[in-house]
Amino acid sequence: MIRVNAQIELDEREIQEDFVRASGPGGQNVNKVSTAVQLRFDVAHSPSLPDPVRERLMSLAGRRLTQDGMLIIEAERFRSQRRNRDDALERLLALIREACEVDKPRRPTRPTLASKKRRLDSKQRHGETKKLRGSKPGMDH
């Protein structure tokens, strides 16, 4: 079991890893060894996730989520397969932890009387400044 937080644990069998060849620099190693990791996690059908967390995770995943609710995380930052596996798993856990946090609802506030007065005074001063920029008497434009 992989512990996400105090409430959520993932079964290792829910996570599928595929190893592919990484793109980018790496010399001969990059052409021979499949070091990049494609981690797949079925968000839509995972029994480990509570429904509110599942919905937030699906919205957070964005384009990493397939049509059928499969989250795909690709890791090819490192040259070793082990480090890429760890990186992909850590990114999945970070995403799930982020989905566990509930946003505090915004409560609309009203501007104070003093801030309204400051705004109007500022507008008044600005208008006076612009009025002083007017043309001199007797000059036609």
Interval 7-35: pLDDT, tens: 777 767 777 788 877 776 666 766 677 77
pTM (predicted TM-score): 0.61
**At which residue do the structure tokens 């850590």 appear?**
90
Domain boundaries along the sequence of the chain? 2-100
Give DSSP secondary structure letters for 108-140: -----HHHHHHHHHHHHHHHHHHHHTSPPTT--
60 CB neighbour count, 10 Å cutoff: 15
Residues 6+ apart with CB under 8 A from 10: 1, 2, 4, 41, 46, 48, 96
- The CATH number for 2-100, chosen from 3.40.50.720, 3.30.160.20, 2.60.40.10, 1.10.260.30, is 3.30.160.20
Q: How confident is the model at residue 113 (pLDDT cuts 50, 70, 90)?
A: very high
More confident residue, 101 or 30: 101
Q: How confident is the model at residue 101 (pLDDT cuts 50, 70, 90)?
A: confident
